[in-house]
Every structure is written in structure tokens, then in C-alpha cells.
Amino acid sequence: MNQRFKFMNIKHTFLSLAVAVATLSSSHAVEVTPESDEAFEARMQWFNDAQFGLFIHYGVYSTLGGEWQGESIRGYAEWIQRWGKITPEEYIPFAATFNPEKLDADLWVKTAKEAGMKYMVITTKHHEGFCLWDSAYTEYDLGEATAFDRDILAELKAACDKYGLKFGTYYSIIDWHHPSQITEKAHNQTPMNDKEGYVTYMKAQLKELIDNYDPAIMWFDGDWVKWWTMDDGVDLYNYLRELSPDMIINNRVAKRKTFKKDYGTPENSTPGAALDHFWEACWTVNHSWGYKESDTKWKDIDTLVQKQIDINTKGGNLLLNIGPYADGSWPQGSTDLLLQMGAWNAAHQDAVWGTKYIDLPQQNWGKVSQSEASTPEQGEIFAYIFNWPKGGALEVNGLQAESIEAFSYAGAPLPSSAGKGALKIDLSEAIQTPQATVLRIKYSGLQQVKAAPSVDLGLKGDELMLQASGAKLKGGTLQLQDNSYIGFWTDPKDSASWTLNVPAPGTYAVKYLYSCAKGYDGSDVLLKVGKQSLSAKVPATKKWEDFQLLEAGTINLNQVGTVEATVGFGENKGKALFNLKAIIFEPISE
């Protein structure tokens, strides 16, 4: 064995014919194995009902905690081999120090259950290539590269079965440790010198995970590498569906920009509207996915609860991540936030589960959902108030009814009326509650009122969206209006900035959801993302209230992780820039 990779030894000799790779023809696309709509819906039912899951990033990178040679490395902790420019010779020996001695699977899953989570997904093999199980096909795993002798995946699977959670396994298509992709320094775009051999290796390992742990979800990542094609992904999808017909597979098995089965996976981003397919938005409780010692950017409980509500009311699931310490224990901040979310979920159970999406205009005070059993004749609506309405009067726009009765979540009646185009509730006697105040609105004869025509965003689920409400505003005149758009953009020195999370490198089309009345148009809007910039001229819309899409051009986002995005005036400066609701970064398919 090459001493340079003393822990590796990829054991191709053990591969059976059962996992031999079928040759993919470049002359035609591989087709997804047919499945009826009814069968697909039935397979996805538990996922659709779940609403909330736990994501765990855990591996050799956890031993470094984002620190290398006495310095905190930029970016996510699980990418430290890349960002720290650590050579294989330097990185591989850290596997011997990986010791999850304090990993309490029962406590992990019990805490997830108390948070209200219905499933969990753990990184069984991240980009570093280290496997959290004793694989027959490599020595770079928990069984042979460490002195640890427990099967933590079996323990977690058993705990999930005990507490009624579904168990899922994450597996990266990228492998910085496999001989087909070894370089002196890990990179976003790994090389590939033996694709057939590597795909054979992948299929063998994935079969091991299915045979040994029977995961309900297989969660892929790393699909952005150029050597991994749509045909490769569809072939792998079909292979896994044959091995485990009831298992759910995320869309990153192929090219996430195009492939949407079984569900889409926006990352560090929540779509601005409901999507036409199943989806799950993954976020983390702080900033890094894997444990990072210097990461103190904890989200507060209000942010997390409101994020869950926002995602769930649009028909999606929240997959919330924590990064355990190397020894398998959790940072106290992670535990505290999950238990606080659990307290809110437990106190509002029928407003969290058993609800469905209702297509309404954006409400500037919060979100709306409908009970699963509701019909147009009668039913119940839930209003989730994030921003208390000025004057104490709430309007649910886009609805009218023959009659309504409004109550606090606890059941105290509130004065209400079914006005034309809106349901109106008097909040003067209502009590605000932490995170979100939930109201019940019982109705009969409900009708949705068509709002004025608005722009169709055409969201697919893999866009990155920066919303006005999340901007950091700089300047004397710039203001956030109605918690939905940035206005009064008249001073050329004013700007708005966001932290943009880039989940996959690539080229993105940039679109602004904006308005600009005639006479104020003609300025250049300048977007700066890291060291790149993109300028576009702002045309007029019909009026300030008429929001439209401005297609500004394309920009290359080549690094995974966070970068600052700033918008302001460009070279040509008119009376105003525009009113801005959102910036959309749409990935362009290769």
C-alpha cells in the first residue's frame, strides 16, 4: 500500500457483480424508471407530513473545529481541507484522532423528537471521503482508520426506530480521498481519472448503507462537479430505486438545477413562494454546517421559529442542521435552540402539522395556512403574526367569506368581520406571544379574491433569493417599507447589502423584483458580489406599486460558502434607483 495513503486502500476486489456499473451511452439520455403519480405520492406522503427534520454534519473535519495551524479558516468547517489548503498527507492522519466516545444516539434522537422533528439525516460520507461506518470497500472509515469500535449509524437507526423518526443518510458524490480524485489540494471541481471505477465504488457503498441501515432518505450532495452528468445521476437514481423501492432520494443525485425528483433542496435559502414539487430547505442553527470553534453566529429562536413557519406554510420542510463536537456531544447552543423550538411546536401542534398551503398575496404582517380538513364551505385558517400590525387591526388579504369567527390560539374570541377582499380582525384585546402570535379563523363560505395581476416569478426551488426584509441598509434616506420592499432610494451614496450563501458553484442569472415609476427610471443599478460586479439600466414600470422582474445579466459564483452582495447606484444616477423587493439568483443549467 502507498504509505502516502496508508488509511485508504480502496478495496475494489470485493465488489460484486450485483453493483457493476451499466455503461451509459452518450447518444441518448437515461430515463427515470417509470412510477405512477399515485405510487410517487404514496411514497412521499410521510415526507410531506413531516414538516421538520434534523441535519447532522459530522466527520473527521469535526476534530479540527475549523482551525488550522492556529488560525480560524474561512468558510464552512467541513470544507477545511479545501479552504485550509491541507494536503492529503497532512489531513489523513486526523482520522486516527476521531473518537465519538460521547456520542449518545438515544439523546440525539430524543432531543430531535422533543424539538418536533420527524426525521434525521447524517453525513455518512462528506467531501473528505471519510465514512462513518465500517465499509468493506475502504479503510478510510470509522472501523479501520480509528480505534473506535461502535457502529454509530446502527445506534442512530435504532434510536430513530425507538422514537418514531425516519433515518436518513447523506452521501457526497465528491470524494477528495478516493484515488480517482486525489489532488494535492482539495477543490470545488475535483478531477476525475477513473469515473467507471469510482461509480462502481459509490454503488457498492450505497448498497452497504441500504443493506445495513435501511435509510428512509438518501441525501446526495456535490452534484456540481462537471464530470457528474445528468445521465450519471438518473442511472444512480434508478439503481437505488431498484435496491430500495420505498426510499426517498433528493434531487442532488443528478443535477439539482434541472432534476427535481424526489424533492428539491434549496440551501440556506427559502423560496419566495410555493413550488410545484416536493421540497426541503436546509438551514443551520448558526453559520457553519460542521462544528467550528469560532462560529458564534447563532440564529435566535424568533428567527428559527419564523423560518419554520415560512417554509411550512409554503408547502416545504425545514431540515435544520447542527454540528456536533468531535467527541459526539452537542454544543449547548444547539441543544437550547432545538428545545426552544420544540416548546413552540408542542404549544401549537395543530398549527404546525395537519395544515396545507393556501395561495394568497404576501401578507406584510406574517404568514397564513389552512387546516388540512378545510373546504371552501367551512374550515379553519391559521394566521401567524410576525410583525404586529400598526393600529391593532389585522387584515388577511385575498380572502372573503360569508362569515368568520376569530380567536386567539388559546380560544379567546376576537372581534372580526368578513370584509370585501380581506378578513379583518381587531387585535386590541389580543395578547402578543413570543416568536409568532397564532390566531384561529373559523369560516364558512370562503372565497379567494383575485389579486391585481402580479409578476410570475417562475420559481423552481434552486434559486438563491435575497429579500428586502433581510438587507442591511446604509444611508440616510433608504427605508424598509411594510416589511416587504426597500424604498426612498434617492441618495447615490445609499446601498443595501446581504450575506449570500452559495451552495454550489456556477453561473447564475440575476433578476431584480422591482418597481420604478416613469420619470424616475434610467439609473444604473450596480450589484457587487465579492470581487465581481454587474450593472444594468433600470427601466420604468407602470407605477411604484407595479413590481416587475428586471433581468440584469449573469454572474459567476465560483466558491461555495458565504459572500457579501451589495446593491447601489451605478455610473448613471437619476432621481431614484428603484423600489426593491428581492434579488433572485437563478442557476443556469450546464
Residue 483's pLDDT is 75
Q: What is the pLDDT of residues 5-21, one digit of tens each?
A: 333 444 333 343 333 33
For residues 284 and 55, the answer to whether their CB atoms sit within 8 Å is yes
Q: What is the pLDDT of residues 570-588, one digit of tens each?
A: 999 999 999 999 999 998 8
Residue 434's pLDDT is 94
Using CA atoms, how far apart are residues 178 and 147, in angstroms rounded to an integer? 22
Residue 273's pLDDT is 81
Q: What is the pLDDT of residues 143-175, one digit of tens each?
A: 999 999 999 999 999 999 999 999 999 999 999
The helix (H) or strand (E) run that includes residue 161 is: helix 152-163
Q: What is the pLDDT of residues 82-119, one digit of tens each?
A: 999 999 999 999 999 999 999 999 999 999 999 999 99
For residues 489 and 545, the answer to whether their CB atoms sit within 8 Å is no
Q: Report whether pLDDT(189) > 90.
A: no
Q: What is the pLDDT of residues 516-535, one digit of tens each?
A: 999 999 999 999 998 899 99
481 versus 32: which is more confidently predicted? Answer: 32
pLDDT band at residue 182 under the 50/70/90 scheme: confident
Q: What is the pLDDT of residues 231-252, one digit of tens each?
A: 999 999 999 999 999 999 999 9
Residue 469's pLDDT is 84
For residues 66 and 330, the answer to whether their CB atoms sit within 8 Å is no
**pTM for the whole thing?**
0.83
Q: What is the pLDDT of residues 376-415, one digit of tens each?
A: 999 999 999 999 998 899 999 899 999 999 999 999 999 9
pLDDT band at residue 178 under the 50/70/90 scheme: very high
CA dihedral sign, ordered 392, 395, 396, 397: negative
Give the gyration radius of the chain's Cα atoms: 25
pLDDT band at residue 450 under the 50/70/90 scheme: low
3-class secondary structure for 281-325? EEEECCCCCCCCCCCCCCCCHHHHHHHHHHHHHCCCEEEEEECCC
Degrees to nearest 5, angle at CA 560 with 555 and 561: 105
What average pLDDT is seen over the chain?
A: 91
Q: Report whether pLDDT(24) > 70.
A: no
Instruction: Catalogue the E-assigned strands of 420-521.
Output: 422-426, 437-448, 464-467, 472-474, 479-481, 485-487, 495-502, 506-515
pLDDT band at residue 560 under the 50/70/90 scheme: confident
pLDDT band at residue 455 under the 50/70/90 scheme: low
Q: What is the pLDDT of residues 269-309, one digit of tens each?
A: 888 888 889 999 999 999 999 999 999 999 999 999 999 99
Q: Report whether pLDDT(142) > 90.
A: yes
Contacts of 27-35 with CB under 8 Å at 24 or more apart are 29/230, 29/231, 29/234, 30/230, 30/231, 30/234, 30/235, 30/238, 31/234, 32/234, 32/237, 32/238, 32/261, 33/237, 33/238, 33/241, 33/242, 35/241
Q: Report whether pLDDT(476) > 90.
A: no
What does the block give as the cell for 85?
Answer: 489548503
What does the block give as the cell for 373?
Answer: 380538513
User: Across residues 199-208, what is the average pLDDT?
Assistant: 99
265 versus 272: which is more confidently predicted? Answer: 265
Q: Report whether pLDDT(569) > 90.
A: yes
User: Across residues 452-478, what is the average pLDDT?
Assistant: 76
Residue 451's pLDDT is 52
Query: Beta strands 280-284 and 561-569: pairing type?
Result: unpaired
User: Across residues 20-49, what is the average pLDDT?
Assistant: 78
Q: Report whether pLDDT(75) > 80.
A: yes
Instruction: Enumerate domains of the chain plus CATH numbers.
Output: 3-21+41-347 (3.20.20.80), 355-448 (2.60.40.1180), 464-587 (2.60.120.260)
Ranked by mean pLDDT, which of 71-75, 108-112, 416-420 comes out on top? 108-112
Query: Beta strands 52-56 and 317-322: pairing type?
Result: parallel
